[in-house]
A and B are shown apart, each in its own frame.
Chain A
Amino acid sequence: MCGIAGSLIVGGQARHPDMARMLATLRHRGPDGVNYFTSPLCALAHARLSIIDLETGAQPMSNEDESVWTVLNGEIFNYVELRAELQGQGHRFRTRSDTEVIVHAYEEYGDRFVDRLVGQFAIALWDVRRERLVLARDRVGIRPLFYTKSGGRLLFASEVKAILAVAPERASLDEQGLAQTFTFWATVGRRTLFRGVESLPPGHLLVVEKGAERLREYWDWTFPAAPGRTDLSLEAAAEELHGLLQIAVRQQLRADVPVGTYLSGGLDSSGITALARQSTADLQTFSIVFDDPEYDESAFQRDLAERLAVKHCPIRCTDRDIGNVFPDLIWHTETPVLRTAPAPLMLLSRHAHQSGFKVVLTGEGADEVFAGYDLFKEGKIRRFWARRPDSSWRPSLLSRLYPYLGRSPVENRHFARLFFGQRLDDVDSPFYAHLTRWTTTRGIFKLLSPELKAQLASARPEDELRAQLPARFQAWSGLARDQYIEVKTLLQGYLLSSQGDRVSLAHSVEGRVPYLDHRVIEFVNTLSPRYKLRGLREKVLLKRALGKLVPETIVKRVKQPYRAPDSRSFFDAGAPLSYVEELLSPSSLRRTGYFHADSVARLVEKCRSGRALGAGDNMAFVGVISTLLLHEHFLSGRAAHGAQVRA
């Protein structure tokens, strides 16, 4: 795991920027060393977190005759097998590093080298002879990579702050990106919060050669036309899945440093921990404990840790901890967030780091691959209801949703029926399951200043997402469509980023996600929805596959998605924390210009007095604070200076 940065001269007499300045902003990703490759046309920089081949794994790394150079952020988990294959084809290796397989695989397979990689990666590769730059990002988007054109150069880096450090003109808000974030919780496609800075989409290559630039998709989530494969018994499918998960976990345990796991106490992380335990004698687990029982899962964590005989290391997270760490969190996420849930995970990565760990396996991705979210059930119920809108018992199934919420949208069946009945007949919408969630999230728009509201009046976040959907999308089952939208919005843009890569690397910890091994995804995606959501029972296949490894108490427990206390974390005894008070002062709100001071004051009062009961108000409050922090960190004109100071 590491931070990478680079520059390609694409115009005139441009010169490379100060690469050390770019890397200085990324040292949290790679504190173990820095190194550079520089040629007249291309510069590559690497901040290293040493995990594999501690002695000779320094980057940038080249092939035998130094005609191909690369920097890698991430891991190539099948490097052992790939190395043997490439050696068989005559390639000579100088190191034991996973990075070195990239340059040889490129020599052997050209741009198709990415198809051979199993891993989580952001790669920059410079082909000296052809004067050709290749940027590549893993299939699912676990590791980030951003790029922009600035002053005759193509600049790229693991985080936007490295780009801003040498291209301060990019420290400008992309209002459309903000509108997307205030709808989907994330930007989609190439868009970011910074105008002119693009994100290389997951599963894509960007090739720049002699002035021509080509973006190519090499992998995407895909599903069969409905209904999908039904020929396997559930038992046979579970056995095949179990085998794939074993391979994924075994390969992801590859490291020359100790590997731990994050254990929430739910099925997904328990499954990964149990699989990892099979081949790790002294496995260590890390968990978050909350005081509030609505969020706390510590009893399940302890239970599993005892049964598996692992060394369990929990940390207690208070409301105050969340509020205190939040400004730092937004420095790392580089985007507003609408929930505080990433904050405790940042504290957890600090805890893992302080415990001497650089690598953890996590259960992220299982809810998307195996259909674990209540949102998928919501879509299923609404489609079922839409077939007979006059039915009174069909909508009564809504009462089965969101049992884990203290204040649930189905708490009152009459209002639930009205709420979830909105656009009930819009079943052909690609966003059918997501419409109600997005409506709630967009409540934050009412807080915008008149100026920003006017700028965003024509913003159509859904249209941009719709334009990115594959042609085959409408042929898929309703569940597959819902899964795809979930992946392209919340998973890629939020869970793997703000709640994944950014918070773990904030403290130099690499998170690995075996459920998102593409071989697992490809197998499960071929199957009919019945293997995932049977009736309203979620993750049927995964539960069967893990049934022998994980105690029944965990397999059968009611799903509790990971969440954390929201608006109340920013108050202490009824008063806002000092930085919150400062950010929300009328003068600050007028100066920054994003929000309407009067409206924000009403929301603050509602939150302060504990009257903000619903998800909408809490999301809006966290969204306001995080947007203002984003401004302070990056958009206030102090950005470049700030980047240097923070680094």
Chain B
Amino acid sequence: MLKVEGLHASYGAVSVLRGLDFEVPDGEVRVILGANGAGKTTTLRAICNMCNVSGTVEFEGENIVGTSTAQIVQKGVAHVPQGRGTFPELSVTDNLLVGAYVRKDNEVRDDIGRWFEIFPRLEERKDQLAGSLSGGEQQMLAVARALMSRPRLLLLDEPSLGLAPLIIEDLFERFTALNKETGLTMLVVEQNANLALEMADYGYVIESGHITLSGPADQLKNDPAVQEAYLGA
């Protein structure tokens, strides 16, 4: 579904990614692990053309480098940015409506109802401003909003950041369920390697703009280098 080759990305003169190769096959959950500043967030931003990019990013067989962010969203890529990225001054319902911005069909209201069923907390707070929600609720809202565009690939940037352990667990269970039930393909960037590897099929480790290690999630979990650096073993 997603195939990235020789991906370079920079902000102005600062180059962050120096030639990444990875892929995310249809229906899989893949995770990118790495320390702060390794380039995890930039990798996701580069896929959505939110920074200066060179190399190839193939989405469903089509190179999307140089395509506008709006068009990439339209093609079926949804991005939940780090720090949730909800619209704090908009109501929960309006947040979901904006999420459907690129859609032209008339099933938007039905979809909102569907996500309200899955995340009942959001329905309870549908008229509240997103900024007044708790961190966990905001993360649910951010995910539901991203799903409103009916994506085929979901990019999740540190979904566990700043959340309590119980809430993180619940959230990751929902991600797994989403993947199992709808076949949604996901690329997750995480610092919480334990949880991420549990959910993922396959993982990559990224260090200062390069991929240094990759393999099936089970294999990475038992890799001594990964254990030392990311699993706190």
Q: Is the pairing of A and B real?
A: no
Which positions in B face A, CB cutoff 8 Å? none
